[in-house]
Chains A and B, each alone.
Chain A
Amino acid sequence: MKSNVGKLLSTAAIAATISAGAMAATLDDVKAKGFIQCGVSQGVPGFSNADSDGNWSGIDVDACRATAAAIFGDAQKVKFTPLSAKERFTALQSGEIDVLSRNTTWTYTRDTSLGLDFTAVNFYDGQGFMVRKDLGVTSAMDLDGATVCTEQGTTTELNMADFFRKHKLSYVPVVVQKADEALAAYASGRCDVFTTDKSGLAAHRTKLASPNAHVILDETISKEPLGPVVRHGDNQWKDIVTWAMFVQVNAEEMGITSKNVAKIKSETIDPGVKRLLGVEGDMGAQLGLPADWAYNIIAKVGNYGEVFERNLGSTTPVDLPRGINKLWTEGGVMYAPPVR
């Protein structure tokens, strides 16, 4: 009886929140309340991380800021909700947040069965392994019999299992609820290996006592396209979040940065650039946004290259190589449909 009552109550609570969250157009809600509620991680340097004053930074944070710049012309009109890996989808489904930008991998099951839609990819990642240098391991194939620490509630658990099964290697899994505690277990010697997305490995390595004593193995065992997620069924909102990302990639391709965008806007004769920056035509209206929406994204947040350098580049502690996240014109896979 106790459990039945509990079930009924929780059903009621979830039913109430879902019905409240799903129906209205997100853009109208966001405009009415004056800010975007953005779901982020509980702290992954370079992706979404709060400093000691509570200011958030990272490329996932900038995805939300770009959307805010497009809607309000002000990149600061964002409030952040830190979420664990397993809370994140429920938070979005229930309407607690407007967009989930939390290094979340785009997979078939998530796209089709969760009532969610992935928008654009803002980081192409892949899962890797980190080990102590003194173990002398050079390849993931040497990991037979190792103990592996990972965070719970992510795609990494399944990738790890698939990798070891595929190569008939034995292993001991230690699955910890939160990333920081998984890392602590690895640091304490409970595990030989720590596994997550390679970007995450680089970010987490900066938190260890002596980062140089640990090495990230070359193998990439999975495809992890990361990007912002929205609720299924609100196409206008999905388009806004998607194109906020595409604008940044297009801007980098056209050589428009946050520093020269004002100058270019007043001087350009290129019709493509004029369309993008809202000098000619009214691209914004099709999304329900002001004409200078793309200009605001570039001016307030920057193009994709700037965002990457600021958060993950060689001047940051994370220091990730740009790799396949270079523009397609430079040998990477970052390619955005044109604005026209």
Chain B
Amino acid sequence: MSEKTTSSNKSFLNDAANRALIFQIVLLAVVVFVGYYLFSNLQANLSDQGISTGFAFLNQPAGFPVLLHLIDYTEADTYGRAFVVALINTVVISLMGIVLATIIGVIMGLARLSNNWLVARLATVYVETLRNIPLLLQMFFWYFAVLATLPIPKNSIIFGDFFLNKRGIYSPNPITQDGFSVVIAGFILSLVASIALIVWAKKRQTRTGLWFPAYWSSLGIIVVITFLALAVAGFPIEFDLPQKSRFNVTGGMVLPPEFVAVLVALSTYTGAFIAEIVRAGILSVNWGQTEAARSLGLKDSLTQRLIVLPQALRVIIPPLTSQFLNLAKNSSLGAAIAYPELVAVVMGTTLNQTGQAIENIGLCMLVYGTLSLTISVFMNWYNKKMSLTER
């Protein structure tokens, strides 16, 4: 009896799986304990020193202005709303930067492979210059050296109802009137119709091999139906026009130079890296593939689209994801040239006014973590989708 118990005990501890489990539990306990100790130590020290803690400040009025806000915001709004404003600014500049950088990168990557000597050399110069100069320096360059050479507001460059000066690009601001919902309905309807058309065209091509210009037709459908809806509703849009005032151009929509400088710097800098990734991806596809496609009688454009690109993308996507993540995080440098993104508004002004460093920095880390993980998840999904086409 006793012998049996001993042997079962022995076998329990000797079992590798059990031991692994025990180590995991011990490790978890240590991590939890250390975390708890650090947290409670922090709490105790902060309250000893009389430093306020907690997130109650998010409901307090902020009192400070923000240069660029895509949702309504005034000084009377809360710190919480200022945080959302900054968050939107960060997300917008990151997403626009990603789209622009990808376009620039693909064009430059292809240009480096061009048979045209001049085009290829220019692309090389672009890549080597931009990826070897620190990004912050490039932002200062665009902001203080390039955009500052624009005229002062008094001597704005005027183009119809558009104004261009040191303080930004001013354009008419469309304001929707009653009946605009008809236009929105028309637009959604045309969108649904286009998707249906594309699905139908694809099915038909698989069945019969006949090709239909579905993308161009759907673009036509969207433009025509939306325009018709506009006409039916009696063009329910009025424009708030920019006008010269004593100091500035007022009214209308304004794109401030801070936004332009950050966007240009981010997308050209990351674009240089993406160009190299695209070039590497395309070169990784064996030349024999192209020759085989040609001997089957495929056009050059179809060869690229159907044979080379799908194979190149498998090489391109993983490093591309890293570049996108870098871009999103690099957007925080915009704080240095007054672009009101997360670091500027939350870790700058809010932190200074409330003095709650840990909460504000924690919020920022949480946001960048979430943003990066979202991009990662999306790109991993896309990567998987591209890999699955392998036969």
Contact = CB atoms under 8 A, between A and B. Distances in A.
Contacts of A232: 49-50
Nearest to B47: A115
Given A109-B353, A158-B353, A189-B148, A7 B365 contact: yes
Interface string A15-30: 1001100100000000
Interface stretch (B35-43, B179-187, B307-315): B35-43
B144 interface: yes
B260 to A, nearest CB: 12
Interface stretch (B242-250, B267-275, B278-286): B242-250
Interface stretch (B13-21, B93-101, B206-214, B369-377): B369-377
B365 A6 contact: yes
Interface stretch (A34-42, A146-154, A264-272, A316-324): A146-154
B349 A153 contact: yes
A192 interface: yes
B221 interface: no
Given A10-B361, A11-B358, A189-B152, A2 B373 contact: yes
B65 interface: yes
A174 B338 contact: yes
Nearest to A8: B35
Given A175-B344, A192-B247, A232-B49, A152 B257 contact: no
Contact of B42 (A15, A157, A190): A15
A293 to B, nearest CB: 28
Contacts of B45: 15, 18-19, 22
B174 interface: no
Interface stretch (A83-91, A118-126, A204-212, A238-246): A83-91
A152 B352 contact: yes
B357 interface: yes
A79 interface: no
A213 interface: no
A77 B178 CA distance: 73
Contact of B63 (A135, A144, A162, A188): A162
Contact of A173 (B35, B65, B247, B372): B65
Contacts of A170: 250
Contacts of A262: none
A175 B349 contact: yes
B46 interface: yes
A43 to B, nearest CB: 17
B80 to A, nearest CB: 17
Contacts of B247: 135, 143, 145-147, 192
A114 B148 contact: no
A90 B357 contact: yes
Contacts of A7: 362, 365-366
B355 interface: yes
A163 B52 CA distance: 28
A88 B373 CA distance: 32
Contacts of A22: 45, 48-49
A227 B14 CA distance: 68
Contact of A2 (B246, B348, B362, B369): B369
B347 interface: yes
B355 A110 contact: yes
B38 A11 contact: yes
Interface in A228-277: 231-233
Given A109-B353, A152-B344, A175-B344, A11 B39 contact: yes
Interface of B: 35, 38-39, 41-42, 45-46, 48-52, 63-67, 75, 144, 148, 152, 166-167, 245-248, 250, 257-258, 335-338, 340, 344, 347-349, 351-355, 357-358, 361-362, 365-366, 368-370, 372-373
Interface of A: 2-4, 6-8, 10-12, 14-15, 18-19, 22, 85-86, 89-90, 93, 109-110, 112-115, 135, 143-147, 152-154, 157-158, 160-162, 165, 170-178, 181-182, 184-185, 188-190, 192, 231-233
Given A3-B365, A7-B366, 5 more contacts: A11-B362, A115-B51, A145-B250, A146-B247, A173-B65
29 contacts: A2-B372, A3-B366, A3-B368, A7-B366, A10-B362, A11-B358, A11-B362, A18-B45, A18-B46, A22-B49, A86-B352, A89-B357, A93-B49, A113-B50, A115-B51, A152-B344, A152-B348, A157-B349, A172-B167, A173-B65, A175-B338, A176-B337, A177-B336, A177-B348, A181-B336, A185-B338, A188-B148, A188-B166, A190-B166
Shortest Cβ-Cβ A-B pairs, 6 listed: A3-B369, A115-B49, A115-B51, A15-B42, A188-B148, A153-B352
